[in-house]
Structure 1
C-alpha cells in the first residue's frame, strides 16, 4: 500500500533538490551536477507513478518495481537530508563571538575532504540506482501523468426504492429532513438541504426513506432521484434529471441532444412545477459547476427543494441554503437491531443467546456505522459456530472477507480520492492509540518531522499548513468531533477510520503488539506496544520513527536504537524509567521531533542533545524530576515547539536565540520565576503555563504578538498590568484559556485589545470569578465561549445576544447561570437560543 504514496514522495524529494541550502552545499562539495541529474531522473520516474499505482495490482513485476523505487527514494532522501544537516551545523559553527567557542565543544572537527569523498560516492551510487529504475519503467507500458488527478474506483449507482422496515434508528433524522423540505421556500432561490456524513453512515438510506414518504408525494408535483457520484458533468446531469422527471421512457433520444436542447427541454419540463430533486452521492467541490447546474434548474415554482447527500463538508457548504444535517452513528440499541436483522432469520436470535453476547462486542467495534454492522452481520448469516463469531470479534474489519458493497470499499473510496500528500498524512494516524482525542499540534509536529508537509508559501509556516491539511481531512469526513479553537484544533477518529489508517499504512508503519511478531522488512515507522517486547526485537537500521512503549526500561534497546537508527526523524519515549539518556543521542543529526513526555525518573539530558540542529519539536512536559535544561539549547536554531517541565528556576539567556520558536509551554515548573525580560521571538504563536506555582507575572512584552495564551493552575500569577490597568491595543489573540485561577474576580482591562481577533474564550474552575465585563459583547470574532465551574458567576454580558459570530456556547457547573439560561425556561434563555450549538448543564 505504501507504493501508492510514491507520487507524493517524489514530489517532496524534487522540492528538496531545488532548495537554496542544498544548492550552496552541493557547490561547496563539488556535486552540483550530480544532484541536477538526480532531479531530472526523479522527474522522469514521477511522471509514470500515478499510472503505475493504478496498474500494480494486475502485475507483480510492476509492484516489485514500485517497491524498489520506494527504497531508492528513501535512501536518496537520507543523503539529501545529510547535506542539509551539514549546512545547519556550519551555520552554527560560523556564528561569531563566544557562541563560536561554545559550539566547538559540541561539534568534533570533521575532515571536509573525507566527507566530500563519502558523499560523492553515495551520490554516484544513488544516481546509478535511479537511472536503472528509470530505464525499467519502459518495461510496463506506463503513461505519463504529471498531476495527481487520478480516476478512483466508483461506487455502484443508487436508486430510490426502499423497504421501509429496512430503515432502523433514523426516524428522528427523517422527521428533521422532512420538516426542512416542507418549509415554505423563497421565490428567488432554490432551497438546498445537504445530508452530510462519512462513508457507510447511511446517508443514501435516509434520503430514500425521506423521498418515499407520503407527505412529500402530496407536497411536490414532481420528484426526481439522480445518483451523481463522481460524474458532475453538466450534460450527463441534465440527461439524468430529465430521465428521472419523465414518467415513462422518453419519446426522444435526449442522449444526442446538445446542451442548448437539453436546457430548453429541462426548462419546459420543470416550468411552474414544484419539485423535489435528490442528488445522491455528490463529490464535486467546484462551485462553478454547481452554479451552472443550479441556474438551469432554478425555473421552478415556489417551494421546490434539492436534497443532497455528500461526504464533503466543503461540498455541503458550497451547495446548501440551509444548515447541513450531519448524520451521526446509530445508538447501541439500534446498532444491535440492525445486526440481528442481517445476522439471523427473523426470531432466530432468541435461540442463540451465546452468539448474541459475542454479537454485542462485534457491534461495539462498528462504532454505530450502519454499513459496517450490515457487513459483519451478513458475513455471519446462517453460521452458528461460536468460534467463527469470536474470530470476527477479534479480527480487524479490514482483514475479513468482504464483497464489493461492504464497508471496506465504502470507506476506502474516500481514501482513494485523497491527493497523495494527504494520504501520507492520513497514514500517520496509525501511530496513535485508538479512541483518543488529538490536536493539530500533535499531528503537525509528526507530519513536519517526517517531511510530509508541502513547502509553505511566503508568509506561511508549518503550523499553518498542518491546520489546512487537517481542515481538508475534516472536510472529507475523515475526522470527527472537530473543533477549531482558533489556532488549536481538537479532533477524534472514528474507530473504523483508525482501522483504515492501519490498513493503508501497513507496509511503512507497524504497531508491534504481539510476542514473536516480526518487524516487516521495509518498515520505516515503528511503534512498540508492550515493554516486554523490547528484549526480543531486532531493530532495522532504516527506521525513521520509533515510539517506545509505556514504561520502557531497557537500556540495551535504547542504546541499540541510538546507535543503529542514524536516520531517525521522530523519537518518542513516554512514561519510561530512564534516569538519563546516553550522550550518543547527539549523533541523531536527522532527528526532527524528540518527545520525552511524563518520564518521571528522568533527571538529566546530555548536553549533546543541543547538537541536533534539525530538531523542530522538543517535548519535556511532565518530566518533574528534570533538574535543568541542557547547556547550549540556543544552538537548536530550527526549534519550533518547546514544552518544558523542570526544577530549574531561571532559564538560560540562550532561549532568546531560538528565532524559529512558535510554541513555548511550561508544565509543573514550580520554581519558574523567569521574566522573559529582553526576549522576543519573531515567529511566536502560542504561550502556555500550567501548574507553575511561583509564576508571579506574565511577559506582557511578548503577549501583543501571540495568537494563543493558556494559563492553568498558576495560583499567584497577576493577570493585570498594574494599578493603571493599561490596555494593549491591537492584540492578535485568537485563543484565551484560563483554568483554575482562584485569584480572578474580574477580567483585566488589557484584554479589550483582542476584541477584533479573539476566536475562543475558555474559563474553567475560576471559583471567585464574579462577572464578565460588558465590553465582552463587542468581541466581533468570538465563535466559542466555554464557562465551566465558576459558581459565583451570575450572568453573561447584557448584550451577549449581539455577538455576531458566536456559534458554540457551553456552560456547566455554574448554578446561577443555569437558572438564568436554562433551555426553554430560563428568564434569559431567549438571549442565547439562536446560537448554533448551545449546551447548558447544572453539573460538569
Structure 2
C-alpha cells in the first residue's frame, strides 16, 4: 500500500534535484551532468507511477517493480541530502569567525578529495539503478500521467427511500434541519443548508429522514433528490434534477437535450414552484460550477431550499447561505441501539448477555460512527460463538471482512481523493497513539523533518505550509475537534481515521505495541509504545523516524540506534530515564528533528549535538535537570524551533546566529533573567515563557515581529515597556495568552498596537487584573476572548458589543462578570447575547 505514496516521493525528489544549493555542490564535486540525467530519468518514471499504482494489484511483477523504485528513490534521497549536509558544513566553516580553529578541528574528519570520489561513485550507482528501472517500465504497458488526477473508486448512487425505524439517535439533528428548511426564505436568494461530516457519519440517512418527513410535503410543491457524488458536470446534474421532478419528461427524451434545451426545460419546471432539492454526496469545490447551477435553479418561488450533504467543509462554506450543520457521532446509548439492531434479531440480545458485554467494547471502538457500528454488527448477525465476537473486538477494523458498502470503502474513499502530497502527511498519524491531542507546530515539525511539506512560496515558511495542510485535512473531515487559536491549532483524529492511517501506511510506517510483533521488512518510520519491546527488536538500519517509548532506559538500544541508523531525520525520546545522550549522536547528520521532552533525568547534552547542521527542531521542554545548552548552539543555522528548559540564567550570545528561528519557548527556566539585548530573530513567529519565576521583563524589541506571545506562571513579569510605555508600536500579534501573572493590574498601552491583527486573547488566573483596555472594541480581527479566574475584573469594555468579528466569548470564575453578564438575566447580557458561542459560568469547568 505504501506504493500509493510513490508519486509524492517522486515529486519531492525531483524538486530537491532542482535546488540551487544542489546545483552549486554538484558543480564543485564534478557530478552536475550525472544529476541532470537522474532528474530526467526520475521524470520518466514519475510519468507512469499513477497508472502503475492503479494496476499493481493485478500484476505481481508490477508491484515488485514499484518496490524497486521505492528503494532507489529512498537511497537517492539520502545521497542528495548528503550534498545539503556538506553545503551547510561549509557554510558554518566559512562564517565561524573567531572560533574558526575550533570548527576546523570540529570537521577534521572530512577529506574533500575522498568525499568527492565517494559521492561521484554513489551518484553513478544511483544513475545506473534508475536507468534500469526506467527501462523496465516498457514491460507493463503503462500510460503517462503527469499530474495527480487519478480516477478513484466511487460510492454507490443513493436514493431517497428510507425505513424510518432504521434512523436511530438523529431526532435532534433532524429537527434542527427541518426548522431551517421551514424558515421563511429571502425571495432574492436561494437558501442552501449543508450537512457536513466524515464518511460513515450518516449524513445521507439524516437527509433521507428529513426528505421524507410529512411536514415538508405540505411546505414544498416540488421535492427532488439527486445523488451528485463526483459528477458535478452541469448537463448531467440538469438531467438528474429533471428526472427527479414529478412533472418532468421521461429520461430517454431528456438525455438527448443539449444544455440550452435542458436549462429552458428546468426553468419552466421550477418557475414559481417552491421546491426542496437535496444534493447528496457533493465533492465539488469549484465555485464556478456551483454558481452556474445555482443561477439556473434560482427561478423558484420564495422559500425554496437546497439541502446538501458533503464531507468537505470547503464545499459547505462555498455553497452555504446558512450555518452548516456539523453532524457528530452517536451517543453511547444510541450507538448500542444501532449495534443491537444489526447484530441480533429483535429481542435476542436479552438472551445473550455475555455477548453483549463484548458488544459494548465493539461499539466503543466505533467512536459513534453509525456505518462502522452497522458494519461490525452485521458481520456478527446469527453468530453466537463468543470467540468470534472477541476476535472482532480485538482486531483492527480494516482487517475484518467487509462488503462494498462497509466502513472501509466509505472512509478510504476520502483518502483516495487526497492529493499525493497530503497522503504522506496523513500517513504520519499512524505513528501516534489513538485519541491523542495534536498541536499544529508539533505535527508540522514532523512533516518538515521528513521532507513531506511542499516547497514554501516567497514569503511563506514551513509553519505556514503546515497550517494550510492541516486546514485542508480538516476541510475534508479527516481531523475533528479542530480549535483555531489564531496562530496555534489543536485537533484530534477519530479512532477509525487513525485506523485508516495505520492501514494505508502499513509498509513504510509501523506502530509497534505488541509483544513478538515483527518489524516489517521495508519500514522507514517506527514508533515503539512499550519500553520492554526495545530489548526484543532488531533495528532496521534504513530508518528515517524513530519514536522511543515513554520510560525508555535501554542504553544498548539507544547506542545501537544512534550508530546504525545514520539516515534518521526524526528522533523522539520523550519521558525517558536517560541521564545523557552518547556523543555519537553527531553521526546523524541527516537529523532534522530532535525531541527530548520531559526527560527528568537528563543532565547534559553532548556538545556534538551542535554538529547537526540540518537540525530544524530541538525540543528540550521540561528537561528540568539539564544544566545548560550545549556549546556551539550557534552552529545550528537551520534551526527553526527551539524549546528550552535549563538551569542557565544567561544564555550564550551565539543564539543571535539562529536567524532561521521561528519558534522560541522557555519552560521552567527559573534562573532566566536576561532580555535578549541585541538579538533580533528576524523570522520569529512565536515567543513563549512558562514557569520562569525570576523573569521580570520581556524582550520588547522582538515583539513587533512575532505573531504569538504566550506568558504563563511568570510571577515577576511586568508587561510595561518602561520608558517607551507611551509609544504604541505597530504589532503583528494574532495570539496573546496570559496566565497566572500576579503583577498585571491593567494592560499597557502597547497592547493597542495589535488592534488590526489580534485573533485570540486568553487571560487566566490573573488575580490582580482590574480592567481590560478600553480600546478593545477597536480590535477588528478579534474572534476569541477567554477570561478565566480573574476575580477583580468587574466588567468588559462598555462598547464590547461593537467587536465586529467576535465569535467566541468565555467568562469563568469571575464573580462580578458573571453577575453582570449572566445569560438571560444579567444587566449587560444583551451586550454579548448576539455572539455565536458564549459561555458564562460562575466557576471554571
TM-score norm. by structure 1 comes to 0.99
Change (3 A) 1:89 1:252: closer
Cα distance in 2 between the residues matched to 1:701 and 1:843: 35
**Larger deviation, residues 829-838 vs 376-385:** 829-838
- Contact 2:812 2:818 (C-alpha < 8 Å) held by counterparts: yes
Change (3 A) 1:827 1:842: farther
- Contact 2:247 2:269 (C-alpha < 8 Å) held by counterparts: no
After superposition, what is the alpha-carbon deviation per residue over 1:137-189, rounded to whole angstroms, capped at 9, x for unaligned?
A: 11111100000111110000000001111111111111111111111111111
- Contact 2:281 2:308 (C-alpha < 8 Å) held by counterparts: yes
Cα distance in 2 between the residues matched to 1:821 and 1:330: 33
Report the secondary structure of 1:483's partner residue.
strand
* 1:295-310 alignment runs, 5 A limit: 295-310=295-310
Report the secondary structure of 1:376's partner residue.
helix
CA apart distance, 1:542: 0.3
Cα distance in 2 between the residues matched to 1:132 and 1:508: 24
CA apart distance, 1:841: 5.7
Cα distance in 2 between the residues matched to 1:667 and 1:344: 55
Change (3 A) 1:382 1:727: farther
- Contact 1:818 1:842 (C-alpha < 8 Å) held by counterparts: no
In the alignment, which residue of structure 2 is the partner of 1:462? 462
- Contact 1:226 1:241 (C-alpha < 8 Å) held by counterparts: yes
Cα distance in 2 between the residues matched to 1:108 and 1:821: 69
Report the secondary structure of 1:751's partner residue.
helix
- Contact 1:225 1:278 (C-alpha < 8 Å) held by counterparts: yes
- Contact 2:222 2:246 (C-alpha < 8 Å) held by counterparts: no
Structure 2 segments unaligned to the other structure (5+ residues): none
After superposition, what is the alpha-carbon deviation per residue over 1:99-119, rounded to whole angstroms, capped at 9, x for unaligned?
A: 323322422242211111111
After superposition, what is the alpha-carbon deviation per residue over 1:547-595, rounded to whole angstroms, capped at 9, x for unaligned?
A: 0111111111011011100000000001111111111101110000000
CA apart distance, 1:693: 0.5
**Larger deviation, residues 43-52 vs 388-397:** 388-397
CA apart distance, 1:757: 0.5
- Contact 1:727 1:752 (C-alpha < 8 Å) held by counterparts: no
CA apart distance, 1:794: 2.2
- Contact 1:194 1:310 (C-alpha < 8 Å) held by counterparts: yes
CA apart distance, 1:96: 5.1
- Contact 1:642 1:663 (C-alpha < 8 Å) held by counterparts: yes
Cα distance in 1 between the residues matched to 2:815 and 2:500: 44
CA apart distance, 1:773: 2.0
- Contact 1:92 1:100 (C-alpha < 8 Å) held by counterparts: no
Cα distance in 2 between the residues matched to 1:819 and 1:481: 31
CA apart distance, 1:58: 1.3
After superposition, what is the alpha-carbon deviation per residue over 1:272-297, rounded to whole angstroms, capped at 9, x for unaligned?
A: 10000000000000000000000111
Report the secondary structure of 1:511's partner residue.
strand
After superposition, what is the alpha-carbon deviation per residue over 1:418-447, rounded to whole angstroms, capped at 9, x for unaligned?
A: 001000000001112211211110110000
Report the secondary structure of 2:251's partner residue.
coil
After superposition, what is the alpha-carbon deviation per residue over 1:754-794, rounded to whole angstroms, capped at 9, x for unaligned?
A: 01110000111112222212211111100111112222222
- Contact 2:764 2:789 (C-alpha < 8 Å) held by counterparts: yes
After superposition, what is the alpha-carbon deviation per residue over 1:496-521, rounded to whole angstroms, capped at 9, x for unaligned?
A: 11111111111111111122221111
The RMSD of aligned alpha carbons is 1.2
Cα distance in 2 between the residues matched to 1:811 and 1:367: 31
Report the secondary structure of 1:252's partner residue.
helix
CA apart distance, 1:230: 0.2
Change (3 A) 1:22 1:210: same
Change (3 A) 1:107 1:244: same
* 1:798-809 alignment runs, 5 A limit: 798-809=798-809
CA apart distance, 1:120: 1.1
After superposition, what is the alpha-carbon deviation per residue over 1:345-372, rounded to whole angstroms, capped at 9, x for unaligned?
A: 1111111111111111111111111111
Cα distance in 1 between the residues matched to 2:56 and 2:824: 60
Change (3 A) 1:266 1:832: same
TM-score norm. by structure 2 comes to 0.99
Change (3 A) 1:701 1:16: same
CA apart distance, 1:667: 0.4
Cα distance in 2 between the residues matched to 1:533 and 1:96: 43
Cα distance in 1 between the residues matched to 2:51 and 2:674: 57
Report the secondary structure of 1:786's partner residue.
strand
CA apart distance, 1:816: 2.4
Cα distance in 2 between the residues matched to 1:777 and 1:491: 30
Cα distance in 2 between the residues matched to 1:724 and 1:558: 51
CA apart distance, 1:722: 2.3
- Contact 1:691 1:713 (C-alpha < 8 Å) held by counterparts: yes
Change (3 A) 1:723 1:12: closer
Change (3 A) 1:137 1:724: closer
In the alignment, which residue of structure 2 is the partner of 1:620? 620
In the alignment, which residue of structure 2 is the partner of 1:596? 596
Cα distance in 2 between the residues matched to 1:226 and 1:387: 43
CA apart distance, 1:246: 3.1
CA apart distance, 1:51: 0.7
After superposition, what is the alpha-carbon deviation per residue over 1:675-711, rounded to whole angstroms, capped at 9, x for unaligned?
A: 1001001101000000000101000110111100000
**Larger deviation, residues 759-768 vs 439-448:** 759-768
**Larger deviation, residues 130-139 vs 243-252:** 243-252
Change (3 A) 1:723 1:117: closer
Cα distance in 2 between the residues matched to 1:127 and 1:252: 58
Change (3 A) 1:579 1:214: same
Change (3 A) 1:330 1:825: farther
After superposition, what is the alpha-carbon deviation per residue over 1:715-772, rounded to whole angstroms, capped at 9, x for unaligned?
A: 0011112277323321100000001112222212210110111000011111222221
- Contact 1:814 1:843 (C-alpha < 8 Å) held by counterparts: no
Cα distance in 2 between the residues matched to 1:678 and 1:801: 42
Report the secondary structure of 1:758's partner residue.
coil
1:185 aligns with 2:185: yes
Cα distance in 1 between the residues matched to 2:144 and 2:484: 40
CA apart distance, 1:305: 0.5
CA apart distance, 1:644: 0.2
- Contact 2:715 2:741 (C-alpha < 8 Å) held by counterparts: yes
Cα distance in 2 between the residues matched to 1:313 and 1:532: 43
In the alignment, which residue of structure 2 is the partner of 1:103? 103
After superposition, what is the alpha-carbon deviation per residue over 1:632-652, rounded to whole angstroms, capped at 9, x for unaligned?
A: 000000000000000011000
- Contact 2:69 2:133 (C-alpha < 8 Å) held by counterparts: yes
Report the secondary structure of 2:278's partner residue.
strand
After superposition, what is the alpha-carbon deviation per residue over 1:472-519, rounded to whole angstroms, capped at 9, x for unaligned?
A: 000000001112111111111111111111111111111111222211
Cα distance in 1 between the residues matched to 2:267 and 2:248: 18
**Larger deviation, residues 804-813 vs 718-727:** 718-727
- Contact 2:239 2:251 (C-alpha < 8 Å) held by counterparts: no
* 1:410-425 alignment runs, 5 A limit: 410-425=410-425
Cα distance in 2 between the residues matched to 1:13 and 1:26: 16
- Contact 1:193 1:323 (C-alpha < 8 Å) held by counterparts: yes
After superposition, what is the alpha-carbon deviation per residue over 1:506-542, rounded to whole angstroms, capped at 9, x for unaligned?
A: 1111111122221111000011111111111111110
- Contact 2:248 2:269 (C-alpha < 8 Å) held by counterparts: no
- Contact 2:243 2:251 (C-alpha < 8 Å) held by counterparts: no
- Contact 1:727 1:751 (C-alpha < 8 Å) held by counterparts: no
CA apart distance, 1:342: 0.7
In the alignment, which residue of structure 1 is the partner of 2:141? 141
Report the secondary structure of 2:184's partner residue.
coil
- Contact 2:432 2:527 (C-alpha < 8 Å) held by counterparts: no
Report the secondary structure of 2:225's partner residue.
strand
Report the secondary structure of 1:243's partner residue.
helix
CA apart distance, 1:252: 5.8
Report the secondary structure of 1:224's partner residue.
strand
In the alignment, which residue of structure 2 is the partner of 1:522? 522
Report the secondary structure of 1:176's partner residue.
helix
**Larger deviation, residues 56-65 vs 627-636:** 56-65
In the alignment, which residue of structure 1 is the partner of 2:132? 132
**Larger deviation, residues 63-72 vs 248-257:** 248-257
In the alignment, which residue of structure 1 is the partner of 2:168? 168
Report the secondary structure of 2:398's partner residue.
helix
1:843 aligns with 2:841: no
- Contact 1:704 1:728 (C-alpha < 8 Å) held by counterparts: no
Cα distance in 1 between the residues matched to 2:143 and 2:236: 27
After superposition, what is the alpha-carbon deviation per residue over 1:597-653, rounded to whole angstroms, capped at 9, x for unaligned?
A: 111111111110000000000000100000000000000000000000000110000
Change (3 A) 1:820 1:316: same
